[in-house]
Structure 1
Amino acid sequence: MSDIVAPAPVARPRRLWLTLLVVLTAQLMIILDSSAVNVALPAIQHDLGVSQAGLTWVINSYLISYGSFLLVAGRLGDLVGRKKVFLGGIALFTVASAACGLAGDQAVLVAARFVQGLGGALASATVLAFIVTDFPQPLERARAMSTYLLVTVSGGSLGLLLGGVLTQSLGWHWIFVINIPIGALALLAGAGLMSERPGTGLRRGVDVAGAVLVTAAALIGIDAIVQASQHGWVSAYTLGLGALAVVLVGAFLVRESRTPNPLVPLRILRLRSLMGSSAVRGVLMAGMFGIFFFGALYLEQVLGYDGIHTGLAFLPQSFAVAVLSFGIAARLVSRFGPMHVLVGGLIVMISGLLLFARAADGEHVHYFPTLFLSFVLVGLGAGVVFIPLLTMALAEVAPADAGLASGIVNVSMQISAAVGLAALGTLATNRTASLLAEGRTQVAALAGGCRLGLLVGAGCVTFGLLLTVAVVRTPRIRREPTGIPTEAVTP
């Protein structure tokens, strides 16, 4: 009889890792698509005859829907089951990708991108919850999270390369069309491999009013942020929408404190480890956008790189993240503790951003060694900081709230990315304009704007370092953690 039951313990982990492969393939598809679009924007503008203002909506429509529905999507997975929400999100994202690929005018493309963002939110909000609930062993969970971080952190730079290759060789439509077979395979494999963990159910009712309030607040707030560069940060449009978003958030918190079945139980907002690490992650992502956005801008518009060479230039950053993701970051956390690893990683990232900013002051900069080293330093820093941040964020979260916590983690990243892109872009544009007014050449003015953006990005990461020291604490509660118990990570 023992011969018959012996294979069972082997089969389950193998299926879990196959399921993780499917889930992260879908996650990578979503990340690649969102970054590849940036490279294809000039081609889209030329083919569809889109104005510069209209072109921003190709990006903003996705950002607004994706960021607005993450929190509700995460909680929905807790209530009705994460498998259903994940598969529904992938199906919606795939259909919307087909609509983007077939779009012949701006309105269809923007609408399809909005639906893409909704599908991406439904799928992405359940990925972390799947990892922390289906990988109960500390070492396995650490490896799964390392792989997740490899996909999320390095996917952006890989998307730039993929977008350049597809746009230049086949056309911009293919950055969306390629999602169709990938999404279909992920849907079929996920349906067959993923095991459904029943949600807590809807028997006590659904907090529809809370969902409407928080989604409306996110929609309005993110819209105000992403359009601030067009209307101005102190314009009536931006300030009015910002004030309305704050009022809606206040109404949402009042609602959640009084309803018997809240969408977001206020107890989870009192977890210092979750909220503190989310704040650090937020300013960190704003700084990361500095090197993604201004690095690509500097390489293309100042140094004259094309899309493919720009993507290749970012590969050292992705490679550094990949190397650290194969267990090294988890072992560092186990050896030195999450706080020490987090502080060290932030310092390395700041060094990389400052090095790039120093180099960007010139118009004739060689890639080796300065730019190469700056990409490596940012990759090394990013490769180690996200593991301790996730460890701290999820360590005190109950398994029943894993989807909601995953949504909070993703929301902190998404909103910060939108704020960072809008704020840094505005500062850099104003700096470029002032340099042009002083009589600088177009290239020199662009270089100066990029340099300022990189310096402000380094400042954001520095603020994250200060927040880490002042606010974040290593979680003390160790009962049934959803995060990585760092003392047990070492193989």
Structure 2
Amino acid sequence: MGGKRNSGAGTGAESRPESGPAGERHTRWLLVVALTVQFLVSLDMSVVNVALPDIRSDLGFGGDGLLWVVNAYALAFGGLLMLGGRLADLAGPRRVLMAGLALFGLASLAGGIAWSPGSLVTARAVQGVGAAALAPVAFALITLAFPAGPARSRALGLWGMAGAAGGAVGVLAGGVLTDAAGWRSVMLVNVPIVVFALAAAVRSGPVGGQRRTGARLDVAGALLATAGTTLLVLGLVRTSEDGWGSAATLTVMGSAVILLGGFVAVELRTTSPLLRPGLLKGRPVLTANLFCLLLASAQFGAFYFVSLYMQLVLGFGPTAAGFAFLPFCVGIVVGSVLATRAVAALGIRRLMTLGGTLAALGMGWFATTATVDGGFLSSILGPSLLCSLGIGLCFVPLGTAATTDVPPGDTGMASGLLNSSRQVGGSLGLAVLVTVAAQVTGGGTGLTELSSGYAAAFWVAAGLLAAAALAAYVLLPGERGAATVEGPTDEFEERDRSTLHSER
């Protein structure tokens, strides 16, 4: 029975990972690769935001064209995540990793020398394609390289820290680099990071299982999932301009629903699905994706409004606003460290519930302190630490739940699904919170109107986080979570990890 489930994970001779210092060194390099990739992908979701005014004046963007510097990346990234995850399963994580890094690096270089609005938007879209290949691989490497238990918990904690650090450093670096070296530096800064990641990948040796022979890509499913997800993200990011009830929004969102419905129909019939329907039958996997969607909906939108509150209401400059986000990064790190130590004792259900609750309380705190006469100490520091501490507590149990009972050959699929939930959730949350804030402000631009709109957005974000905590408490099995973390690695996972270094 075990051999049947694992038959697609790889072909050819398999060997156990090297033991002793050599094997530990290769595993450490694998972790370095995964963390660097996670940092890089998160960095580029925020690093260009502060540089947008300079980009507009230098390249001559007109009208709403500047928004596509951000949206082109988000659309390609969100639309291709499922495809990137499945390619990692079929072609092997190493091939997808190297190709994704090369593509991301070349696109960053092209963006740094862009000569027109179209060339920059194209470069950002290609960056998104590379990120869609890299993000699922970063998560899959951890699940393949580390056995279930304390080692994987520590690695998942570091993975969460890398993502949080990338987002926070992106905001800070965007302001500092733009002031010091111009907007092109925020694109070119990716190049040395990519070079380091490629070198680390070479040092790590083989990364993940071997290529599946005889397996084929679900082309119809890939096209439907990519088109449907892309239209869904497009519809969400455009609601701030077109409105939820506009003909354009309804057409795009309706088309997305039709395409995604077609994707489900294809996946139920094909023998090589892009998303195995049974994957979501497991309550931990289903809950992890629902939790991730709600968490990202609140986090991404709130991140946006905290930045606006600091700059438009409190009068912070770009660099000062970037530094003001550092406590958020510190809270993520502390929460992740605590989670690696507490997950075995508390289990994933209690820890996700606790983390979601603390994050909701922190977001509610933001809502009560986002006033005209606020300041960093009175309005930013405390809420940032409490909210980020809660979010940091969630990363380790969330990663564990997302891969519970998932065969090794489907780790890329599970990772792509989780990242898609995160990306779609972030776009959805931003669209909803922008609409709420706009309705409260009523088009007013005074400090009082703006702070009231931002506070309303924070209250909605707090509700989304509370819903995530409730979902974890209700849907996750009470005893299964701790057993999953502490229990022995199953034979399928153990056999798949034995291919990590077999090509050496």
TM-score (norm 1): 0.92
SS in 1 for 2:274: coil
Q: 1:415 aligns with which of 418, 424, 441?
A: 424
Query: Could you say if the C-alpha distance between residues 477 and 168 of structure 1 is closer, same or farther in structure 2, counting changes exceeding 3 Å?
Result: closer
Q: 1:340 to 1:165 in 2, by over 3 A?
A: same
The amino acid across from 2:272 in the alignment is N
Equivalent residue for 1:3?
none
- The reply on whether 1:12 has 2:23 as its aligned counterpart is yes
How many residues in Structure 1 have an aligned counterpart in Structure 2?
A: 472
Question: Which residue does 1:330 correspond to in 2?
Answer: 340
- Taking the aligned partners of 1:307 and 1:152, their CA distance within structure 2 comes to 21
- 2:347–2:481 contact (8 Å) kept in structure 1: no
Counterparts of 1:422 and 1:129, CA distance in 2: 30
Alignment match, 1:368 = 377
CA 194–418 in structure 1, closer or farther in 2 if over 3 Å, else same? farther
Match of 1:102 among 109, 113, 119: 113
Amino acid in structure 1 at the alignment position of 2:364:
L
| Residue 158 of structure 2 is aligned to residue 147 of structure 1 | yes
- State the match for 1:387 in structure 2: 396
Equivalent residue, structure 2, for 1:400: 409
The equivalent of 2:501 in structure 1 is none
For the pair 1:340 / 2:343, whether they are aligned, the reply is no
- The corresponding residue for 1:40 is 51
- Distance in 2 (alpha carbons) for counterparts of 1:422 and 1:324: 28
Match of 1:164 in 2: 175
The answer to whether the Cα contact below 8 Å between 2:34 and 2:139 also exists between their aligned partners in 1 is no
1:455 to 459, 473, 480: 459
What CA distance in whole angstroms lies between the structure 2 residues aligned with 1:37 and 1:487? 43
Cα distance per residue 1:118-145 (max 9 Å; x no partner): 0011011111111111112522211111
In the superposition, relative to structure 1, how do residues 388 and 52 fare at CA in structure 2: closer, same or farther (>3 Å)? farther
Residue 246 (str. 1) matches residue 257 (str. 2): yes
Which letter maps to 1:129?
Answer: A
Which residue pairs with 2:6 in the alignment?
none
Cα distance, 1:261 vs. partner? 1.9
Name the CA distance, whole Å, in 2 between partners of 1:373 and 1:194.
Answer: 44
State the match for 2:10 in structure 1. none
Structure 2 segments unaligned to the other structure (5+ residues): 1-17, 490-504
Structure 1 residue 44: Cα displacement: 1.4
C-alpha spacing 1:197/1:350, structure 2 compared with 1 (3 Å): closer
Q: How does 1:107-118 map to 2 (within 5 A)?
A: 107-118=118-129
Q: SS of the counterpart of 1:124?
A: helix
Amino acid at match of 2:459: L
Call closer, same or farther: CA 1:137–1:286 in 2, change over 3 Å: closer
For residue 28 of structure 1, report the CA deviation from its aligned partner: 0.9
Aligned to 1:354: 364
Residue type of the alignment partner of 1:416: G
CA distance in 2, matches of 1:392, 1:458: 23
Q: What is the CA distance between 1:12 and its match in structure 2? A: 0.7
Q: Mark the CA change 1:474 to 1:152 in structure 2 (over 3 Å): closer, same or farther.
A: farther
The one-letter code of the counterpart of 1:178 is V
Look up the match of 2:450: 446
CA–CA separation in structure 1 for the residues paired with 2:98 and 2:60? 35
The aligned amino acid for 2:358 is: V
Measure the CA separation in 2 of the matches of 1:259 and 1:391: 28
- Partner of 2:321 in structure 1? 310
* RMSD after superposition: 2.0
SS, match of residue 308 in structure 1: helix
- Residues 389, 204 of structure 1: alpha-carbon distance in 2 compared, 3 angstrom cutoff: closer
Give the Cα–Cα distance (whole angstroms) in 1 for the partners of residues 412 and 358 of structure 2: 31
Asked if the contact 2:301/2:426 (under 8 Å) is kept, the reply is no
- Return closer, same or farther for 1:265/1:487 CA change in 2, 3 Å cut-off: closer
- 2-side partners of 1:164 and 1:18: how far apart? 31
Give the letter for the 2:194 counterpart.
G
- Cα-to-partner distance string for 1:390-420 (whole Å, 9 max, x where unaligned): 2222111111100100001100000010111
Who is 1:472 aligned against? Answer: 476
- What one-letter code is carried by the residue in structure 2 that aligns with 1:417? G
Deviation of 1:170 after TM superposition, in Å, equals 0.9
Residues 40-98 of structure 1 deviation map (CA, whole Å, 9 limit, x = unaligned): 11221222222351111111111100001111110110111001101111110110001
Deviation at 1:293, TM superposition (A): 0.7
CA contact (8 A) 1:228 1:238 kept: yes
Match status 1:59 vs 2:70: yes
Write the deviation string for residues 171-193 of structure 1: whole angstroms up to 9, x where unpaired: 11101111112212212331342
- The equivalent residue for 2:5 is none
Change (3 A) 1:14 1:53: same
The 3 A distance-change label for structure 1 pair 290 and 205 is: closer
Q: 1:210 aligns with which of 208, 213, 221?
A: 221
My pick for the range that moved more, 183-192 or 59-68, is 183-192
1:356 shift after superposition: 1.2
Closer/same/farther in 2, CA of residues 53 and 469 from structure 1, 3 Å limit: same
Q: 3-state DSSP class of the match of 1:35?
A: coil
The letter for the 2-side match of 1:32 is: L
Q: How far off is 1:200 after superposition?
A: 5.5
Separation in 2, partners of 1:333, 1:232: 42
Is this contact kept in 2: 1:97–1:112, CA < 8 A?
A: yes
Q: For the Cα contact (< 8 Å) 1:334–1:488, is it kept in 2?
A: no
| Match in the other structure for 2:94 | 83
Q: Distance in 2 between matches of 1:444 and 1:71?
A: 43
In 2, Cα distance between equivalents of 1:33 and 1:477: 33
1:134 aligned residue (145, 160, 185): 145
Distance 1:325 1:469 in 2: 20
Q: Is the 8 A contact 2:217 2:272 kept in 1?
A: yes
Checking the alignment, whether the CA contact within 8 Å between 2:297 and 2:461 is kept in structure 1 is yes
**C-alpha contact 2:32 2:200 (8 A) present in aligned 1:** no
Report the residue type matching 2:367 in the other structure: A
Contact 1:90/1:187 (<8 A) preserved: yes
Q: CA offset at residue 427 of structure 1? A: 2.0
Work out the CA distance in 1 between the residues paired with 2:133 and 2:308: 31
For the residue of structure 2 that corresponds to 1:261, the secondary structure is coil
How far has the Cα of 1:421 moved from its partner? 1.2
What whole-Å deviation, never above 9, does each CA across 1:277-326 have from its counterpart, x for those lacking one? 21111111111123311111000111110111111111111112212333
User: What is the one-letter code of the residue matched to 1:458?
Assistant: A
TM-score, structure 2 as length reference: 0.89
Give the whole-Å Cα distance in 2 for the aligned partners of 1:250 and 1:116. 28
Structure 1 residues 396-405 or 342-351, which shifts more? Answer: 342-351
